[in-house]
A and B are shown apart, each in its own frame.
Chain A
Amino acid sequence: MYRIGIIDDEQETREILRQQISRFQDEEQAEFEVVEFRSADAFLAHAGEKCHILFLDIDLPGTTGMELAEKIRETDNDVIIIFCTNLQQFAISGYKVSALGFIVKPIQWYSFHMYLKRAVQVLREREARQQDQSSRRIQIKVGSLTRFLNVADILYVEVQLHYLLYYYRDPDTGKVEAIRTRGSMQDVADQLSPYGFARCNVSYLVNLSCITAISHMDVYLGEQVLRIGRTYKDTFLGEFSRFMAKRGL
């Protein structure tokens, strides 16, 4: 069950949001607990009760919705914020608080449904990740040793003849080490693709979440630069774009 906070000074909007949340529950088989607040201050007074999703009116009296969002973000990067606004121009600085989306009032089902669906997706993915930590670790044999690597910390994998080099960032020290083991690119690609890895080249399998920049020729992983192979370019850039489009959620 997810907890949704509605922060809006207009009774009518709160009512519409409640109705649409209820419709969403019926159509999408989701369960929500809804709490309402008339102002930013009322919400802050109940800050102990954490919400998963916030429908936040930008044009609140007193502390505005955008100011409230900035305040929330000082301590909480997880809560999903969906703004509701009377004027579409108010959305312009939403990037500052990593808002998931904006709904222009009067609230319409199409936008509401799209953003709430995305929010639920994000929450479910996060949960899956947390509950299933062990499945996000892979096991590799290095000589007689067996090592467990957290996939999120693998920057990329390089193939050299019959060997694989895992470039692994130690989560404690931040140092990158190369771990060498026997294996084929096809096998490691099959194993890691579900975790958001894609081949940019015949020799490299890249963790899309570790990419810091990309050009039409190269992939940047911090200091490290990898070339994008011509035959892999379209598929790789396609996967990267889809990944980036979702990451905003």
Chain B
Amino acid sequence: MQPVSIRLSRCGKTFPDGTRALEPLDLDIGAGETMVFLGPSGCGKTTTLRIIAGLEAPDEGGSVTFDGVDVTPLPIEKRNVGMVFQSYALFPNMSVAENIGYGLRIRKRPATAIRQRVGELLEMMRISPLADRRIDQLSGGQRQRVALARALAAEPRALLLDEPLTALDAKLRDVLRLEIDGLLRRLGITAIYVTHDQAEAMALGDRILVMDHGKVAQIGSPRDIYQRPASRYVAEFIGTMNRLSGQPESGGFRTAGGLLPWAAAPHAAREAWFRPEDTALADAASAPLSGSIDAAFFLGDRTRLFVSIGNDKPLVVETAERREFRIGETVGLQVDASRILAL
């Protein structure tokens, strides 16, 4: 199977009731790439996926091409894409094997070829013993594997996954995330993965498209998005961000807790943004910043502290120090100046 490259141009979506689900979007997805659409519910990520799948038509003027061929007028059944739905959409009237073989049956493959391919997929997903089970006899994780196998059986040109892990509990999500990652790398298939879970997006995506209210907030590699978020929205959506308000002055950034040594602070900056992992406890006497402990959570290997400085939201700091922290205690903080962003 040859992975396909996908291009969206000017793809917008306005629903009949007038709501704009998606602002016109241009996007290139390379052959064999795993692209993650990330954002909160209602941001337009599922709509975009459904336009690529052929379940929704883009507004007038938009087009979808697969390997340069315009597929906009084709309904999903003509696009040869594999799709995994959030609720799996397994057919309750068919067994596991019949579900997996359905796409091949539609393509009128001979029965022996179907049986063989279904066997391969059952093996690949490690669910061979379930072949004759009814769908309502399966657990959530098993259903997820059947749905993946079914989507892959007919060797689709692209695999589209719509929040495939959302319905599962946290532990199982971790296991399956790893499996899906391995599967996508091994198959080298073009994959589009929709999720609202940033950890999933970071783990799976070659690139991530962060969406906000039907618009692109940022597009880039997980590293880019995390380390150089393009906006406050992206910064706050991905991971945790500390924010400290103040004024730039010579030699740093004046805050309620002291002078932050941020020489590169832009003239107009009124807030400094930095990650918890770039923030560390320091000796209160010599540290540039000081604040008081609002709350302390002992996590076992480390302690998470909430330190309040002035009227800002408490900063999150994690430390491996083994001592006990008292609420109200004054602590010193230092921040890796090269990691501070203005946003």
Do A and B belong to a common assembly? no
Chain A residues proximal to chain B, CB less than 8 Å: none
Chain B residues proximal to chain A, CB less than 8 Å: none
